A and B are shown apart, each in its own frame.
Chain A
Amino acid sequence: MTTVSITAASSEGRARVQARPSPALRDVASIAGRALRAVPRELETVVPPVFIALFFFVVNIGTLQRLTQSHLKGFDIKAFMLPTAILLGVTGVSRAGSLVLDIQSGYLNRLLLTPVRRLAILIGHMLADVAIACTLMVPILGLALGLGVRLQSGPVGGLAFLLMGCAWSLAFAGFGYAIALKTGNPAAVNSSFLLFFPFLFMTSSYVPRAQLSGWLGSIATWNPVTYVLEGLRSLVTQGWQWDSLVKAVLAIIAVGLVSMSLCLAALRGRTRRG
């Protein structure tokens, strides 16, 4: 081990360098930058969601294509299943697991000891999540386009599709962060994705809502994911259906309000506990 020495430059440096509050946007960018730099070093956190989404997309099409072609004239199962695959891929994509590791390693305390705004820590992570979710959607969309799916709403609709997927990812990510901040437990965060399963499957993910049987149809009517799916699906199969799109946006906002409220409460609790 080498010895530590302080040079004259250090003394001069002290006189010159003065800490000051950083602008809020710079705080957010710094935290988001750190979260994004970590992604290539933690591919295990982003590869499985894409794999699962692609796997179910391909398997579902393989299972249902012949059946739907023979019984439902003009029904495109590939276009129908694309939003399901997208939601499966981007839901639960978050850096909440890394936040738990920061809590456990004490690095979150290190961040809290700096003048960084507490909210910027969350927003920075979430911005990184949006970027990751957007990137994850590309291969799924690419595969769908390769299989012949055409977006009826055109290229702008494609952009709206991506934005809506990202917004949903962000809205749902709040639950993961709330659990991370509340429990500091990686297992609890990992299982937060399970919360989504009833939401995803008690909805119109595999058949149109009108075809669902009684009780499931009732649940699907109250399930916000139904409206997100229908909004995304309308962009693919029908074009600009404003009624569906508004409902989808409202559903995302409603889920986002709940998750972010929980998240902020958990952040307040965590920073108070220290």
Chain B
Amino acid sequence: MTLLQTETDTGREASGVIADNSYAISAERLVRRFGGVTAVDGVDLRIRRGEIYGFLGPNGAGKSTTVRVLCTLLSPTAGRAVVAGYDVADEPEKVRLRIGVALQEAALDPKQTGIELLRLQGRLYGLSRTAVGRRLADLGELIDIGGALARPIGTYSGGMKRRLDLAVALVHNPEVLFLDEPTTGLDPVSRARMWEEVRRLNRELNVTIFLTTQYLEEADELADRVGIIHDGRLVAEGTPDGLKRSVGNDVIVAHVDGNAEASCKAVEPLAGVRSVEARGQELIVTAADGAAMIGPVAVALGSVAPVHHLTLRTPTLDDVFLEVTGNHILADEPAESDPKPRDLAEARS
């Protein structure tokens, strides 16, 4: 499978650029195996400082494993990665000083209070008592959970835990922030607020953000650039608009009654139709000029079976994913993370 890449300015000019200081994150042929299972298979990344990079892929694609390697929780099996100017395998301590990480499930100690956890985190990053106090004052406003900071974390709601987890990741002013599926399991309102928070962190504090997600609209909304990962390989990369443009076709979606096969056959011969795919009662028709084709498609379908809905839309990142992998991204709700190392090890055995 070849990499679909829409931007030329992504730093792939030469292998030597991995040490280029203008990149907050760079990886070269990064591989992580668990026994016989290859979770990350030769991923190359070049992420500039101050960028929001969306890492999009279905469950089990290798997103979380990539994050775990980049944030030094796992060592790479092969290849190399540099984060915030330091090699993750050779100088993990220096990387850890410069990154903040919010993993998919808020990694908090339910027995501690929020304030105890934040203070401990500050101490572990070598912050003085005064510096911790100052950051707590800043982050108190940032996370806005007020008096709840004095309560045991076990009593927090899911949204409060997410915000505290983010504050913990930010307590030492990281240069690079890794967010592993930050909105999985959140309701739509909380999700929108998290998006706004990510934008502000990037805009006001110039934090480079590496965001993994299985939600197309999240990558579309937030990311300056998107990398699509499938079976551990980076299969497409570019700006969301660039990637969608690369697909080129408009999409007509029709919901029909009756025989989908017959409907396909009715539409396929139409001049201007590029492809037709049936998914249950749904027909996906791609065409270079969707506005011109929607009428003929409706007539052709109507001659075979009743048509309930007919929608014309521009391509989405899912269409990009379909183009490069032959499959759709199916996001779960609530979603599970990528297989953890132990899961993979167990799967292997």
Name A residues whose Cβ lies closer than 8 Å to a Cβ of B: 1-7, 9-11, 13-14, 16-22, 26-27, 30, 33-34, 37-38, 41-42, 102, 105-107, 109-116, 184, 272-274
- Determine the interface band of chain B, counting residues with CB < 8 A from chain A: 35 or more
| A-B interface contact total, Cβ < 8 Å | 140
Q: Is B96 on the interface with A (CB-CB < 8 A)?
A: yes
Q: Is the interface of A mostly helix, strand, loop or mixed?
A: helix
Q: A4-B193, A11-B204 are in contact. Are A107 and B141 (CB under 8 A)?
A: no
Q: A105-B107, A109-B103 are in contact. Are A7 and B341 (CB under 8 A)?
A: no
User: Which residue of chain A lies nearest to B98 when distances are taken between CB atoms in the complex?
Assistant: A19
Q: Is B310 on the interface with A (CB-CB < 8 A)?
A: no
Determine the distance from Cα of A97 to Cα of B127 in the docked complex, in whole angstroms: 29
Closest Cβ of chain B: how far from A257's Cβ, in Å? 28
- Asked if A7 and B125 sit within 8 Å, CB to CB, the answer is no
**In the complex, what residues of B have CB within 8 A of residue A10's CB?**
138-139, 141-142, 204-205
- Asked if A4 and B163 sit within 8 Å, CB to CB, the answer is yes
8 Å CB contact of A105 from B110, B121, B141: B110
Closest Cβ of chain B: how far from A168's Cβ, in Å? 27
**In the complex, what residues of B have CB within 8 A of residue A111's CB?**
124
Scan residues 163-205 of chain B and give those whose CB is less than 8 A from a CB of chain A.
Answer: 163, 168, 172-174, 189-190, 193, 196-197, 200-201, 204-205
Q: Is B20 on the interface with A (CB-CB < 8 A)?
A: no
Determine the distance from Cα of A21 to Cα of B127 in the docked complex, in whole angstroms: 9
- Asked if A113 and B72 sit within 8 Å, CB to CB, the answer is yes
Closest Cβ of chain B: how far from A116's Cβ, in Å? 5
**In the complex, what residues of B have CB within 8 A of residue A13's CB?**
134-135, 138, 173
Determine the distance from Cα of A16 to Cα of B205 in the docked complex, in whole angstroms: 13
- Asked if A9 and B97 sit within 8 Å, CB to CB, the answer is no
Q: Is B322 on the interface with A (CB-CB < 8 A)?
A: no
User: Which residue of chain A lies nearest to B99 when distances are taken between CB atoms in the complex?
Assistant: A113
Closest Cβ of chain A: how far from B111's Cβ, in Å? 5
8 Å CB contact of B121 from A7, A11, A38, A114: A114
User: Which residue of chain A lies nearest to B152 when distances are taken between CB atoms in the complex?
Assistant: A41
**In the complex, what residues of B have CB within 8 A of residue A17's CB?**
127, 131, 134-135, 172-173
8 Å CB contact of B108 from A14, A22, A107: A107
Q: A10-B204, A106-B105 are in contact. Are A22 and B124 (CB under 8 A)?
A: yes
8 Å CB contact of B127 from A1, A9, A19, A27: A19
Q: A6-B142, A19-B97, A115-B97 are in contact. Are A30 and B116 (CB under 8 A)?
A: no
Scan residues 230-264 of chain B and give those whose CB is less than 8 A from a CB of chain A.
Answer: none
Determine the distance from Cα of A184 to Cα of B345 in the docked complex, in whole angstroms: 15
**In the complex, what residues of B have CB within 8 A of residue A184's CB?**
342
- Asked if A34 and B112 sit within 8 Å, CB to CB, the answer is yes
User: Which residue of chain B lies nearest to A102 when distances are taken between CB atoms in the complex?
Assistant: B109
Q: A6-B204, A9-B137 are in contact. Are A106 and B107 (CB under 8 A)?
A: yes
8 Å CB contact of B142 from A5, A112, A116: A5
Determine the distance from Cα of A9 to Cα of B123 in the docked complex, in whole angstroms: 21
Q: A4-B144, A10-B138, A34-B112 are in contact. Are A113 and B101 (CB under 8 A)?
A: yes
8 Å CB contact of A22 from B99, B116, B123: B123
Closest Cβ of chain A: how far from B202's Cβ, in Å? 11
- Asked if B73 and A112 sit within 8 Å, CB to CB, the answer is yes
**In the complex, what residues of B have CB within 8 A of residue A113's CB?**
71-73, 96, 99, 101
Closest Cβ of chain B: how far from A191's Cβ, in Å? 20
8 Å CB contact of B125 from A2, A5, A114: A114
8 Å CB contact of B173 from A3, A9, A18, A41: A18
User: Which residue of chain A lies nearest to B94 when distances are taken between CB atoms in the complex?
Assistant: A115
Closest Cβ of chain B: how far from A166's Cβ, in Å? 24
Known pairs A4-B200, A109-B73; list 14 more (Cβ under 8 Å): A1-B159, A10-B141, A17-B127, A17-B135, A19-B173, A26-B123, A30-B123, A106-B106, A106-B107, A111-B124, A113-B71, A113-B96, A114-B124, A274-B74
Determine the distance from Cα of A274 to Cα of B70 in the docked complex, in whole angstroms: 12
- Asked if B144 and A2 sit within 8 Å, CB to CB, the answer is yes
- Asked if A106 and B103 sit within 8 Å, CB to CB, the answer is yes
**Among A9, A37, A111, which residue has the most Cβ atoms of chain B within 10 A?**
A9
Q: Is B93 on the interface with A (CB-CB < 8 A)?
A: yes
**In the complex, what residues of B have CB within 8 A of residue A114's CB?**
96, 121, 124-125
Closest Cβ of chain A: how far from B35's Cβ, in Å? 12
Closest Cβ of chain B: how far from A114's Cβ, in Å? 4
User: Which residue of chain B lies nearest to A21 when distances are taken between CB atoms in the complex?
Assistant: B126
**In the complex, what residues of A have CB within 8 A of residue B144's CB?**
2-5
User: Which residue of chain A lies nearest to B174 when distances are taken between CB atoms in the complex?
Assistant: A19
